[in-house]
Structures are given as structure tokens and as C-alpha cells.
Chain A
Amino acid sequence: MTSLRILVPIKRVIDYAVKPRVNATKTAVVTSGVKMSMNPFDELSIEESVRLRERNKGAVQDILAFSAGPTKAADTLRTAMAMGADRALLVELDENRPKERDLEPLTVAKLLREVVHKEGCNMVICGKQSIDDDSGQTGQMLAGLLGWGQATQAAKVEVQGDEVVVTKEVDGGEEVVRVKLPAVVTTDLRLNEPRYATLPGIMKAKKKPMEKKKLADFNVDFKKRLETLEVVEPPPRQGGGKVDSVDGLISRLKELGAI
């Protein structure tokens, strides 16, 4: 079996349970003072990497958690290490510099390509999308840039020799593909149930190495391709009130022309 050096990209995002608010200038969503967490799909990526290590004795040589984000993304990386990642790499972004805020997927993919090359990774497990930007692009872009195989929206991952067999979630059901390593896998919700970081895990994570870098350390073009012109809240939906019986429901639906 190929010895796996896994890269797990992680994004710090507004917690999934928080209802985001658009700022007063209608340029972005308010993030200051808002609870932030690890992107839920990235938790699945870490969990799957750790499970691959547990399932395949000796196969996983290294699990590197990576994030490009503000200084506080270090906390998110500590969480990843508490869950089982061996080490972390943080590219610290200066949020006061517009071009370092909200890196676009293509830029992130290029950063990751550099990391893969430098660290000699042969598998990248990343979330299928981040729940803030909802683009769902980074993993596929990275696979394209590296010329690697890809398996997106994984519901099951099995390493077999120098290949990885992935059950993918597709429209209308599931699909199974066999991808040659090195490869990029993106995680879907049903892949696993991420573990909670235990106290001993958290203590151990404090001693694990975290390397910090700046964007300038990478030979990547950071120019933004998309310019955000406006961010607004969607038109609110008004609840139409309640009825007290099934007959009431049917007649109201008839009034509304829905049945």
C-alpha cells in the first residue's frame, strides 16, 4: 500500500448555526463578534484522514492540516490537530489588506498546489464546499492544477494499494469510482461522524508543530478575478399564518392556487 501523506485544507467560517447578517454598507457579511468554527465539511476531511490511519495500519505517514486565514485560524488548526492531524501550516492573511481578504478558490487551489509540492503530499482530502462562499470548487481546481485524479462528494473512501475507491453522492443516487493515487477527494456529509476533540487530545495538540507563513512566501498570483459589487439580504418571506385543521389547509392551498 502506498504510504499516504495527506493534506487537509481547512477553512474558518461563521458557525453553521449562526444566521449571517449583511453589513450596513452592503459589501459583505458581518464576521466580527460572530461565532466562528471549522467549516463542517472540513471536519469530515480531518475525521476521514484519521480513520484512514486507524483502518489501515501503518498506511498513513502524515496528516497535515492547512489553513489560509486570519491569525485566529490557528485555533481552528489546533482543533484539527486535537482531532488527530499531526501538524499544521497556517498562511496568515492580513485582513486589512483587501487582496488578502476572502481568497478566491482558484488562488487557494494554487496555494495548495505549492504546499503539495513542497510537502510531498500524495492525497488531499478537502470539504466539498465551504458554507460561507458555497462555491464548491477548490478540490476540483487543485486536482486540475496538479493533474491528479479526483473524487468529489465522497460518501465512502477506501484505500486499496495505490488506488482509492470512492463512493460518490451524485444526483439521483451514488456512483463508485476507482482513482489512482495521488488524488484529491472531497467530502460529503454522510462520509463520517466527526469525533469531538477530547481534553487529552487538546492538550497534545498544543505541543504539535504549527508552521506559520505569509502569502508572500508563496509564488502565487493573488490577483482577485471577481469583484464583489454588492451583498444584500434576500427578500424576506412572510409567514402566512396558521390554519387549525386539514380542511383549512386544503382550502387555503386552493386559494393560493397551489393545488
Chain B
Amino acid sequence: MSVCLAQARASLFRPFRQSTRSTISSRLFLLSPRLLSTLAVLEHKEGKVSPQSFPAVTAASKFGGPITVFLAGSGSEKAAEQAAKLNGVEKVIYTSNNAYDKGLPENFAPLLVENIKKGNFTHVVGAHSAFGKNILPRASALLDVQQISDCIEIKDENTFVRPIYAGNAIATVRSTDTIKIVTIRGTAFLPAEETSNTAAIEEAPVDPNAECTTVWISENLTRSERPDLGTAPKVVSGGRGLKDKENFDKLMPPLADALGAAIGASRAAVDAGFADNSLQVGQTGKVVAPQLYLAAGISGAIQHLAGMKDSKVIAAINKDPDAPIFQVADVGLVADLFQAVPELTEKLNAGRK
């Protein structure tokens, strides 16, 4: 709708525009007939689109223009077939060059930038994941664009809503850049669904093969049968109240299994070594918004609340009745977690049989 309007306006002003091109360049942009066109940058692993990318496609659809999906690295051709089925995707472009396998920003950002320029994209969307946070700001700088990070709502093609101050304030900002580069909070948009859609799949038009002086050496990823923390419908999270790693490992996994939940942790628990860094929920860790968030032995510091307060139902078990977590919990149990958690696990398991 707004696009049609812009086009109509543009044709109306065409003679005027041509004669005064140099003097009113800023107004020209507003009247520009340039069509909206969005590029969604997806992540993939082992030939599959990564879960954090599905909401990015949904976010891309909010702009109203056609959506092209971008994938790079070996296996991207296979992931492209899956991406082509995602709701709203018009075209998939991929670069199967294995130089992009590890998502190193030194060559990935130039690759992205050249394809953004080549495709005349007006909007670029990626997840606010480790990958998106690493690459998109670098690409933004190369394009001289001020990125909008961790967006939770897209109001229109220029206007974005994002949390600041650990989610204690919500800012609405309007971008004046010609290209909008946005990372989105995965839990704020529904994952795009696979449909019978079959978008065109093509090789990306440019590969600048930029030099990369950074070398990927190794990775150590926590493998788990449990659902992924960022997208799990249920999360059980442990804090300092668990006292040590042994207790964390003894009490949290059985409770998680009884609920079919992912395991999270507070910063205190991670810092004290009870749980792996990648399990941290909070401003500086993962942001989750599950159906159920069960916090055990977590006091509820603002940095932790920033990562979970959009959960549908929050339950808390803490022996301190004044813990701030109870101010946000839908249901709170003041109890010693060393008794309450095993009892809860047992009763949940009994209920399932």
C-alpha cells in the first residue's frame, strides 16, 4: 500500500525531481520510487536451517516487500531447499563456498554487503544470535548504516521497537538510513512455517572472496537431547540457591526431563561454575520467552529478569519470601528447593504415568 503511494507520488514529481536532483537530495529519498525488498540472512547447520532463523523470516515479512533469503557456506545449497518452503519467501540465494562455513565476519560481512548492494535490498534482517551479533554490525559499518539491534516489533518500514536498559525500557526508533539493517529477538516473532511454497533457488550473484586473516580453530558445543534453550516451550532454571554444581546436576536435569523442558541458569550459577555459560538466561545471556519458566533458587536480579520476564507463566521456588522473583512470578512457592524440587519432580513423573 505505502509502496504504491510512494510510486504514485514519485511519478507525479518526476519532472520536478529531474530538474532539482542536486538540491533536494534528502527529499528525493522520500519520494524515491525504489521498491521495498528484504533480505533475510539465515544460519544453517548440517544442511538444515537453524531454529533461530525461522523468526527472522517472519520478521522480514512485516515489511511487506518480497523476501529473499540468504545462505552461505557448504551445505547451504541443501538448506536452501528447506528455506524455499518457508512461508513468504520469494527467492533463496546461496553461496556454497566453504570459506563461509564458520561465519567469520572478516569475509562473511563483505560477502553480505556485496549481495545487499547487488540486490538493491532496502531491508536486511537477521537473528540477534551470536552469528547475527558478530556479522551484521560489521556489514552495517561497511554500508555506513546504523543497525537496529534486538528488535521486538516492526511498526513499519522505518520504525522499530527495541528493549533498552535490560528490558526496563522500550524504545521506538525511526531509522533515516537508506538501508535498514535489523537484528531481531527470536522470541518476539513466531517461527516461519514450512509450506508447500517453492521459492526460486539461485546462486548468489556475487562472491567477493574477501581475504580473511582470522582462522577458526575449534569449537566446544554442549550437546543435549533436551530442547534448545532459546526456543523451548518450557524452561527450568537454577540459581545460586543450588549451592554447587553437584546439586545443580542432581536436581535440575530430572526436573527438566519430567517437564520436557530445557535447562537454564542464572548468572550467579554460571559464574560459580554450577552450569555452562551457554545456559545463562539474562541480559547478557539468552533471552527466553517460554510457556513456562520455572526458577529454582533464583533471586530475580534485573539482569536475569531481562532474559525471562516475557515468559507466559513464571513459577518460582525460593526460600526467601522477599526475593524479587516473587514480584513477577505467577505462582511462587516459599520452600527449601532441596526438598521442593525432588518432590515436584517425583509428583510430575507420577502424574504422567
Contact = CB atoms under 8 A, between A and B. Distances in A.
B222 interface: yes
Given A106-B144, A136-B149, A259-B348, A237 B309 contact: yes
A153 interface: yes
A106 B145 contact: yes
Interface in A158-196: 165, 168-180, 188-190
Interface in B8-63: 52
Given A141-B138, A231-B169, A240-B330, A169 B149 contact: no
A257 B333 CA distance: 18
Interface string B86-114: 00000000000000001011100100000
B216 A177 contact: yes
A239 B330 CA distance: 5
Interface string A24-40: 00000100000000000
B7 to A, nearest CB: 25
A143 interface: yes
Contacts of B218: 175-176
A128 B133 CA distance: 10
B65 interface: no
A19 B313 contact: no
Interface string B135-149: 111111110111111
A89 to B, nearest CB: 21
Given A189-B284, A239-B327, A176 B164 contact: no
Interface of B is mostly: mixed
A215 interface: no
17 contacts: A105-B147, A106-B141, A137-B140, A140-B105, A142-B141, A170-B219, A171-B52, A172-B222, A176-B216, A178-B215, A241-B331, A246-B340, A246-B347, A249-B315, A250-B344, A258-B234, A259-B292
A223 to B, nearest CB: 8
Interface stretch (B76-84, B115-123, B194-202, B275-283): B275-283
Contacts of B271: 189-190
A72 B163 CA distance: 26
Contacts, number: 263
A134 to B, nearest CB: 6
A248 interface: yes
Given A225-B177, A253-B313, A259-B259, A173 B221 contact: yes
Size band of the interface chain B makes with A: 35 or more
Contacts of B142: 144-145
Interface string A198-237: 0000000000000000000000000011111111111001
Contacts of B4: none
Given A190-B270, A239-B330, 11 more contacts: A16-B303, A136-B133, A145-B141, A150-B134, A169-B130, A170-B278, A227-B176, A228-B173, A231-B164, A249-B344, A258-B291
Among B168, B216, B327, chain A packs the most CB atoms within 10 A around the CB of B168
Interface in A100-118: 104-106, 109
B251 to A, nearest CB: 13
A172 B221 contact: yes
B105 A131 contact: no
A217 B162 CA distance: 32
B343 interface: yes
Contacts of A29: 164-165, 168-169
B2 interface: no
A147 to B, nearest CB: 9
Interface string B310-335: 00111101000100001111111111
